[in-house]
Amino acid sequence: MVAVTVYLAAIAIGLTVAFFKFIYRRRRPNEPEIVPGNLLWGNGAEFAEHAVNFLHRCQKKFGDIFTIRLLNQYITLVLDPHSYENLAREKVFDFDPIQRQVNHNVFNFELIDARKMLSEAGKKVNGRFLTTGMRNFADNLKNAFAKVSTVDENGNIYQTIGDNWGQDGLRDLTSKTLFSALFYTIFGQGDAIETFEPQTFYKNFDSFHKYFNYLWLGLPVKLFPKATAALNVLSQQPTSDEMLKRPGVSDYIKFSTEFMKANNQSEQDIVGHNLVFLHVNYNTFRLAFWVLYHILDDRATFMALHKEVQDLVERKTETATENGPLGISIEEFDKLPILDSIIRETLRVTSGVFMVRYITQDVEFEMDNGDKALMREGDRVAMYPPAIHKDPEIFEDPEIFKHDRFVDAKFYKNGKELKNPLVAFGSLCPGKKYSLLQTKWFLVNLMNSFDVRLVEGQKTECDVNYYGHEILPPTNDVQVQYRLKEKFQELDFLARRQC
Ligand code: HEM
């Protein structure tokens, strides 16, 4: 009995010491207010329940800057949108450790030279590589469109044309078209492993992503059997040598594979890195799903975009000198104001991301209005774009989707114009341009060559349990019907502006 009591007392003392060492903190002068929370998980439960509502409540009570705790991580939130540029520029706010946390905790690998890899990732999806990538993407998308218009959801031959409408979930359809094109544009074609194909990856990513926030915070993947099972499937990839030989493999995967091999990184590291690259590209798939949903859900949005795409095709047809597909250049489809506004509005309502940085040394951070706050080395500092995107002072009726909200518009907070009203890509995403162009090309082509409609009564909304993900997934898929148009002018991606 005495032994048990001593044992329990030792555990209690151990836990108390651990609490004071790793969790408890007293606010120092000039530090932001600490939001009270649960003894163990801090503000985790309120954050997980509905992050935007929780942060708006805190903002009302504590102002534009305050500190929350998720498990043992203290995060200072800066909710003043005018201070975005100061935060993005601050040298002691470092993204590298956050990136490492994702690589290590979620995808189970380390990078020997992360900076070099990231700077190359930026180069290989921009400049001249952007056009090569887009060219490959356009070809892969054409194949995917051809497949869904000739094969039904069970793989049987079925022409979706005339009175033959095909039916599928909108997410499933977007995965069979856009995600499939993304997958082949990244990894090229080949038949090394049966499971290394877009549909298997789409389904297993879906299961795996459910646990992303828990894994990111450091909970071991073994706690979640479904995540472990999905990760096992996702890890079945061609060997690095096979990957390098796949026809159509992207310049970035070629570079990263060769670079990691040259640095003696293991096959497992290479597999993990491939996954993280597909994971960032997966955001384009989520975005495209939502844009399509909003277009199909709202007649005015559909009609406005339909007219814009039709006008473009007619303009091009009038000036075409040859028969065959109409060449459309990046400049032409990137500058369509309605399409651009629909995509921005979709990003505004579906973005769920944290723009988070590790604080490498104690610092006095200056807000845009001149207020100063002390921040501690080892904490994290973050902006929370969804809280800005849903601020009624900046965006009137923030819960309502308005397709033309961003056409020639300016946005204000406290009477001052915002330099960056939409911060869904954070300040560092190198894939922003690529991703937006892919989404636009996908939509222009879909609107041009397919009839698509939502099945009566189908509705969905953002799943707020996933706040923290770049783009929120839907709570459920919706059924759509689609068919190839009987008459349409085929479009071709033009790598250069036509003279
Ligand atoms: C809708 C699509 C996308 C969204 C919403 C998105 C969003 C983001 C966000 C919010 C960040 C964190 C940035 C920060 O904290 O400042 C990020 C980082 C990153 N994104 Fe994207 N992204 C998208 C597509 C892509 C694509 C297509 C690629 C690759 C081709 C990509 C590559 C990356 C990389 C490599 C980083 C890490 C940057 C670094 O460490 O410096 N993203 N993205």
Q: Is the pLDDT of residue 167 over 50?
A: yes
Flag whether 429 is marked binding.
yes
pLDDT at res. 26: 80
What does the mean pLDDT of the chain come to? 91
Write out pLDDT tens, residues 216-251: 888 889 899 999 999 999 999 999 999 999 999 999
Q: Is the pLDDT of residue 1 over 70?
A: no
For residue 468, how far is its CA from the centre of ligand 1 (angstroms)? 13
Flag whether 483 is marked binding.
no
The residues lining ligand 1, judged by C-beta closer than 6 Å to any ligand atom, are 95, 99, 118, 121, 125, 280-281, 283-284, 287, 353, 355, 424-431, 434-435, 470-471
Name which residue sits closest to atom 18 of ligand 1, judged by CA. 429
Name which residue sits closest to atom 31 of ligand 1, judged by CA. 431
Number of the ligand 1 atom closest to the C-alpha atom of 423: 10
pLDDT bin (cut points 50, 70, 90) of residue 186 is very high
392-401 CB contacts, 8 Å cutoff, 24+ apart:
394/81, 394/418, 394/421, 395/348, 395/421, 399/349, 401/294, 401/298, 401/301, 401/345, 401/346, 401/349
- The H-assigned helical ranges of 125-266 are 127-148, 170-174, 180-187, 198-209, 212-217, 225-234, 240-245, 251-262
pLDDT at res. 331: 93
Name which residue sits closest to atom 15 of ligand 1, judged by CA. 355
Ligand 1, pocket-test mutation among 100, 383, 425, most atoms within 8 A of CB:
425
The dihedral region occupied by 94, where left means phi > 0, alpha psi between -120 and 50, and beta the remainder, is beta
pLDDT at res. 301: 97
Ligand 1, pocket-test mutation among 89, 429, 437, most atoms within 8 A of CB:
429
Among 23-27, 181-185, 191-195, 333-337, the range scoring the smallest mean pLDDT is 23-27
Write out pLDDT tens, residues 283-314: 999 999 999 999 999 999 999 999 999 999 99
pLDDT at res. 22: 64
Flag whether 462 is marked binding.
no
Helix (H/G/I), strand (E/B), else coil: 90: coil
Count other C-beta atoms under 10 Å from residue 71's C-beta: 15
pLDDT bin (cut points 50, 70, 90) of residue 498 is very low
Name which residue sits closest to atom 9 of ligand 1, judged by CA. 425
Name which residue sits closest to atom 25 of ligand 1, judged by CA. 431
Backbone angles phi, psi at 91, to 5 degrees: -65, -30
CA neighbours closer than 13 Å in the CB half-sphere of residue 208: 24
- Tell me the domain boundaries of the chain: 114-344+399-405+427-494
Q: Is the pLDDT of residue 7 over 60?
A: yes
Q: What is the mean pLDDT of residues 343-367?
A: 96
pLDDT at res. 18: 63
> Between these two residues, 4 and 50, which has the higher pLDDT value?
50
For residue 281, how far is its CA from the centre of ligand 1 (angstroms)? 8
Flag whether 115 is marked binding.
no
Write out pLDDT tens, residues 382-440: 999 999 999 999 999 999 999 999 999 999 999 999 999 999 999 999 999 999 999 99
For residue 97, how far is its CA from the centre of ligand 1 (angstroms)? 15
Name which residue sits closest to atom 6 of ligand 1, judged by CA. 425
CA angle 490, 493, 494 (to 5 degrees): 120
Number of the ligand 1 atom closest to the C-alpha atom of 353: 10
For residue 427, how far is its CA from the centre of ligand 1 (angstroms)? 9
Q: What is the mean pLDDT of residues 251-278?
A: 94
pLDDT at res. 353: 87
Write out pLDDT tens, residues 121-160: 888 888 888 999 999 999 999 999 999 988 777 777 778 8
Q: Is the pLDDT of residue 15 over 80?
A: no
Query: Is the domain covering 114-344+399-405+427-494 a CATH 1.10.238.10 domain?
Result: no
Name which residue sits closest to atom 21 of ligand 1, judged by CA. 429
Number of the ligand 1 atom closest to the C-alpha atom of 356: 15
Q: Is the pLDDT of residue 119 over 90?
A: no
Q: What is the mean pLDDT of residues 89-108?
A: 91
Residue 256's nearest CA partner among 101, 104, 113, 435 is 113
For residue 297, how far is its CA from the centre of ligand 1 (angstroms)? 28
Q: What is the mean pLDDT of residues 159-184?
A: 93
Q: What is the mean pLDDT of residues 451-460?
A: 96
Residue 308's DSSP bridge partners are: none
pLDDT at res. 499: 38
For tokens 């090229």, the residue is 188
Write out pLDDT tens, residues 17-54: 666 666 768 888 899 999 999 988 899 999 988 899 99
